Amino acid sequence: MLSMAHERAARNTTISTSLSMGLLIMSSSSPDREDGPTHLTYRFSSSVNQVPGTQNVRSICAQAFQRWAQVTSFTFEEVPATTAADITIGFHRGNHGDGSAFDGPRGTFAHANPPRGGNFHYDADERWSSNPGPNEVDLESVAVHEIGHLNLLGLNHNPDLPAAIMYPYFDYGITKRDLHRDDIDGIRALYGL
């Protein structure tokens, strides 16, 4: 989950995230690591029809999935919204049925269910963009982060390395899309790559 919490500092605002939603790293002894699928499907299904700034969300998410595919043995394929999929991506507001209600603007940006959950939800009340200005959140940066938590990937946050995608702090106007060496080493260590 990427969220924003304000703490006043002498010069600026610090952005933090809650780790209370069970974003887990699976143990290396999990049978899913060796026996699970490497080709994962995803679909889009939202409870909100129009979210400004999200016209290109399909191609943006495809790019985010490709970043992980380039450093793992996983492949990702979009399927029609009416088809069963390993991962469901959507925009939602407030309580949307997964037990992790959104809190409106400048709160939780997005969340992904822990491994095996397969849901990746954006908060429809945030100001989204593919080219963010100072008061907008970058769609792809958040997608790359949340995908790292999904299904078999199962990475946790790394609070020690601000340059890492899996760093739990994020803010408006920032673009951070490239996997850091730590993200790559983490996913490869989980899968013995």
Which residues, including other chains, have CB under 8 Å from residue 95's CB and lie 6 or more apart?
Answer: 101
pLDDT tens-digit series, residues 164-175 = 999 998 899 999
Instruction: Respond yes or no: is residue 146 known to be catalytic.
Output: yes
DSSP the chain: -EE---EE-SSSEE-----TT---PPPTT-HHHHHS-SEEEEEE--S-S--TT-TTHHHHHHHHHHHHHTTSS-EEEE--TTS--SEEEEEE-S--SSS-----TTSEEEEEPSTT--EEEEETTS-EESS--TT-EEHHHHHHHHHHHSTTT-----TT-TTSTT-S---TT----SPPHHHHHHHHHHHT-
Mean pLDDT score across all residues of the chain: 79
pTM exceeds 0.85 for this model: no
State the average pLDDT over residues 66-77: 95
Reply yes or no on whether the pLDDT at 193 is more than 80: no
Residue 28: the pLDDT is 31
Reply yes or no on whether the pLDDT at 23 is more than 70: no
pLDDT tens-digit series, residues 98-143 = 888 898 898 889 988 765 668 899 999 999 999 999 999 999 999 9
End-to-end CA distance of the chain: 26
**Residue of 78, 126, 136, 146 marked active site:** 146
